[in-house]
Each structure stands twice: as structure tokens, then as C-alpha cells.
Amino acid sequence: MYKSNNNIVYDCKYHVIWCPKYRKPVLKGDVEKMLKEILPFKAETLGAEIIEMETDLDHVHLLVSCNPQYGIHKVVKGLKGFSSRVLRENFPHLKSTMPTLWTNSYFVGTVGSVSLEAVKQYIENQQVRTKKK
């Protein structure tokens, strides 16, 4: 589904993965539950949408749609910072056992509704269409 703002029409989706510091298995029980409640709220304030979300004990998977002018980096940074602050305030054991909740790194991959080959072919055929006219 396409979204738009004053300048662009877009359909940008990203697969994002990040882990707790030292890959500690802390995403369980009430910590996991609260994380899943607060991330969609924060995403909305960042102008993004979490389409899918799942956790394992030591990592978070998100499918995120966001405005490319704002950028996925700002969204991930906002989600990680906010969730770290909220979770560490509510679960003191996360403060006492880890210097920070999340690692600095994360994975992001684009997810498209059109295949790479289809886009390549579309671009390659642009001049062909113009020359035929």
C-alpha cells in the first residue's frame, strides 16, 4: 500500500533485527510483553508503522514501514533508545546486569513488493518505449 506526504509517494518496508547487549536472553515474560506494547506506540510517534513483530530470547525482528525522508536509521535509533529507557526503568534487573540494554549494531534489509529483476527490466525498457513513439 502506498503512503504519501507533501513531497513523495512511497512504499518502503524494512526487515530490522537487533539484539540485547551480549545477546543475553532477557526478552521473556513481562519484559517481552512490555516491549511488544511500547514499540508500536513509539513507531507511530516516529511516523513509522510496525507491520509485524516477533522476539526470541536474544533478538527482536520487525517489519517496519517508514517515510524514506525520515530514514530507517532514525526510526531504529528511536525505537531502541525509547525501549531501552522504558524497560530499564520498569525492570531493575536489566540495569544491574547489563551496561546498556541493546547492542549498538543492528541489521536492516529492504523488503520490496516488486522483484529486483522486474525493476531492472522496467528501467532498461524506459528508453525503448520513448524511441518507439
Express as a percent the part of the chain with pLDDT over 70. Answer: 95
In order of 81, 91, 117, 119, the CA distances from 103 in angstroms are 11, 18, 35, 35
pTM over 0.75: yes
Report the 10 Å Cβ neighbour count for 18.
19
Q: Which residues are catalytic?
A: 122
Express as a percent the part of the chain with pLDDT over 90. Answer: 70
Class (C level, CATH) for 3-132:
alpha beta
**pLDDT digit string (tens) for 52-67?**
999 999 999 999 999 8
Amino acid at 68: P
Identify the residue whose cell numbers are 531493575: 92
